[in-house]
Amino acid sequence: MAEIAYWEAIRRAHDEEMARDPMVIAMGEDIGVAGGTYKATAGLYDKYGESRIIDCPISENSYTGIGIGASMAGMRPVIEIMSINFALLALDTIVNAAAKIRYMSGGQIACPIVMRTPGGTAHQLAAQHSARLARMFMSTSGLRVVTPRGPLDAYGMLKSAIRSNDPVIIIEHEQMYNLKEEIPDEEFFRPLEGAEVIREGTDITLIGYNYSVHLCLEAAKRLEADGVSAEVIDLRSLKPIDRETIRESVEKTHKVVVAEEDEAPVGVGSEIITGIMEDCFFALDSQPVRVHAADVPVPYNYKLEKAAIPNADDVYHGALKALGKI
Amino acid sequence: MKDADKKRLLREMIFFRRFEDRTFEAYMERKIGGFLHLYSGQEAVATGVLEMANVGQGDKNDYVITGYRDHVHAIKTGAPAREVMAELYGKETGSSKGRGGSMHIFDASQNFMGGYALVGQPFPLAAGLALACKHKGTKQIAICFLGDGANNQGTFHETMNMASIWNLPVLFVCENNGYAIGTHIDRSTAQLDQYKRVDTAYNMKSSQHEGMDIENVLPAAKAAIDYVRNEQKPYFIEFMTYRFRGHSMSDAKGYRSKEEEAEWEKRDPIKIFSKKLIDAGVVTAKDIKAMEKEIDNEIENDIIKFAEEGPEPRIEDLNKYVLDDNPDPRWIGPLQK
């Protein structure tokens, strides 16, 4: 076991998979000579060369499309989109091509691409660099959408994503690239499906994904000090969603909070809570609570930005509301 | 080219025209749904270009990809015509098992990588197929057929640039029929000569050719394909052509004159080639009549029959093919608790 950062975990997964399979390539802006904005491919250009670590011009839709085309002929491209905001430019090839080709072709052609992109707010990056957008991809049939919360999943899920035969969107987070965690030295895999109970509790269920998992964990600690035992679930996969793990937890705790960094309308919280209503409505003792961003484009000003984005305190207060304490 | 091959090419073009005409009838009978875009008038382009490519040889084929006007490209690449027709009928026995329809014919066994409804979307997909060919070192190339209207999409510019800087073995075939759906090219496009849009802008070799006479198409296509395969570089080839029918079945063609249509009909690729072959003594008018009769028989008694008699997809299979139906649990899960 060694403690490594999130970006190092991604780099290690790339390195191992590229060494194993010559069909694995990486594509993106500044990932080669420049070493990658988040260092996720640092040093790999020297090791694998320009034909496998491909520096792309700023043409998100078409280099993603080129990756998809290559995957249709048996390659395994890992595409880095520098910010999920820029993924909007590639929506046509992701949603209209990658997600639909297997189906439209009657199962003849797979598109085993991986698209990695950070989706979340960082520090005063303003409206056009702070989108989260998980909700946009999780609503598309034919895609897998996963959200590794730390180095263990960042490594293990990227390896699984490269080997799976489906198009996989991995949503990372600018504030998590330096997050550290101990992970095994030997090779391992983490499956793309399945939510995970990462803290057991009996009084309330806090549900997060991506960065909001950490807000839930922090809120759980504060609740513990109040004598409340909070269970924390990391969704891990937003498409498909593991409703069974959520149901089991809610049937135990009878109260639930969903924490999402995105705006609320038509979002992760709406989807999760609808699932709870359908699966275990009568297990609830109080109304479910959504903790979410303000419904505004993310502002630049530091105080406004902080006010727009949920933090651990907001999750804590959401829990108090579900517990009937406020 | 041998006389027998010329005769075969004429037969193929007549077959493609009759096939499309028959889909028109089936559409009017409501046996075919959705949108239907017919290729009539442009036969010399796909027939001539693909004659010079590696097709009909299964997985050794060059990769072929196109837009929604895709029936003829699919068949010439090697997809069985009866399966294409069955796809239009929405049958399980269709090329795409009834999941794609007219605009989404696929035959992976022949490297026919699909018809796409998003104008310009195949540009990057074709470049990606070419990237895979280059990476594997197979000497296969990718061939992308699109109309002039596609060249006003961002994907055109983005892909020409990347195909050029990465030296991808891809042939872009521009079938310039003068219309982007119902808008004439001189109202939609600043540079009317499409081949000029890539030469200096993207440092790519390109050329323009008359596209109604297959004897013009064949040598031009051969030179371009040889260049792409041997030099491992992209090439953009433009053929001037005309679609005789509307953009799709719902198109009343109100945007063009009867005089213009009549002018182009004089340049009907089948008439041109028929006359040439009759004049050269390769075929007689009587041979052509016999050919037509044989084709109509084949279409009616084999192709339409196959499409009519094939089973519909089962409702129970609605959710098949969304994702890998037999995923490896090591990568997919579920997560062990």
pLDDT 10s digits, A121-144: 998 999 999 999 999 999 999 999
Residue B317 CB burial class (10 angstroms; 0-12, 13-18, ≥19): middle
- pLDDT (tens digit, 9 = 90+) per residue, B217-267? 999 999 999 999 999 999 999 999 999 998 888 888 899 999 999 999 999
Percent of chain A with pLDDT over 70: 100
Please identify which residue in the block is written with the tokens 């992760």. Answer: A268
Q: How far apart are CA A108 and CA A94, in angstroms?
A: 18
Domain assignment present for residue B337? The answer is no
Beta-sheet strands, E only, within chain B = 63-66, 112-115, 142-147, 170-176, 179-180, 183-184, 205-210, 235-240
Domain parsing of chain A, residue ranges: 2-183, 196-322
Q: State whether B158 and A59 contact (CB < 8 Å).
A: yes
Write down the pLDDT at residue B251: 87
Cα(B267)–Cα(B38) distance, integer angstroms: 18
CA torsion, points A295, A298, A300, A306, in degrees to nearest 10?
A: 70
Inter-chain contact A72–B324, Cβ cutoff 8 Å?
Answer: no
The phi, psi pair for A2, rounded to 5°, reads: -145, 145
Give the closest-approach CA distance of A285 to chain B in angstroms: 27
Chain A hits for B83, CB-CB cut-off 8 Å, are none
Q: Within 13 Å and on the Cβ side, how many CA atoms surround A250?
A: 28
CA distance A188 to A157: 10
The torsion angle over the Cα atoms of residues B76, B80, B85 and B89, rounded to 10 degrees, is: -130
| A196-322 classified as CATH 3.40.50.920 | yes
Distance from chain centroid for Cα B150: 14
Contact A105 B99 (CB under 8 A): yes
Angstrom distance (rounded) from CA A276 to CA A322: 15
Chain A closest-CA separation from residue B10 CA (Å): 30
Backbone angles phi, psi at B91, to 5 degrees: -95, 155
Of B65, B155, B329, Cβ closest to residue A62: B155
- Report how far apart the first and last C-alpha atoms of chain A are (Å, whole number): 43
Contact between A105 and B108 using a beta-carbon 8 Å cutoff: yes
Q: Distance between CA A22 and CA A48 in Å, rounded?
A: 10
Supply the range of the domain harboring residue B290: 3-332
Count of domains in chain B?
1
Q: Which residues of chain A lie closer than 8 angstroms to B128, CB-CB? A: 65-73
Q: Does A235 touch chain B (CB under 8 A)?
A: no
pLDDT digits (tens, 9 = 90+) for B269-296: 999 999 999 999 999 999 999 999 999 9
Q: What is the mean pLDDT of each run of 10 residues along chain A (326 residues)?
A: 97 98 98 95 97 98 98 98 95 97 98 96 93 94 98 98 98 97 97 98 98 98 98 98 98 98 96 98 98 97 97 98 96
**Helix, coil or strand: residue A206:** strand
Write out the DSSP string of A258-294: EEEEEESTTSHHHHHHHHHHHHHGGG-SS--EEEEE-
Q: What residue has token string 């993310």? A: A298
Listed in sequence order, the DSSP H helices in A113-267 are: 134-137, 151-163, 212-225, 243-253
Report yes or no for ipTM above 0.90: yes
Amino acid at B201: A
Domain spanning A2-183: CATH 3.40.50.970: yes
Query: Long-range contacts made by residues B287-290, C-beta under 8 angstroms, separation at least 24?
Result: B287/B7, B288/B10, B288/B14
Whether residue B309 is contained in a domain is answered as yes
A197 CB-near residues (< 8 Å, 6+ apart): A231, A232, A233, A245, A249, B337
Q: Flag if B161 and A57 touch (Cβ within 8 Å).
A: yes
A60 tagged catalytic = yes
Of the partner residues B107, B125, B332, the one whose CB lies closest to the CB of residue A68: B125
A282: Cβ contacts below 8 Å, ≥ 6 apart: none
**How close B212 comes to chain A (CA, Å)?**
30
> Which residues in chain B are contacts of A140 at CB distance < 8 A?
none
User: Which among A57, A72, A104 has CB closest to B125?
Assistant: A72
Identify whether B209 is part of a domain: yes
* Cα–Cα nearest to A119, from A209, A25, A214: A209
The CATH number given to whatever domain includes residue B98 is 3.40.50.970
Is A91 at the interface with chain B, CB within 8 A?
A: no
Over residues B150-198, the pLDDT tens digits come to: 999 999 999 999 999 999 999 999 999 999 999 999 999 999 999 999 9
Alpha-carbon distance A280 to A276, whole Å?
5
Do A2-183 and A196-322 come out as alike in CATH topology?
yes
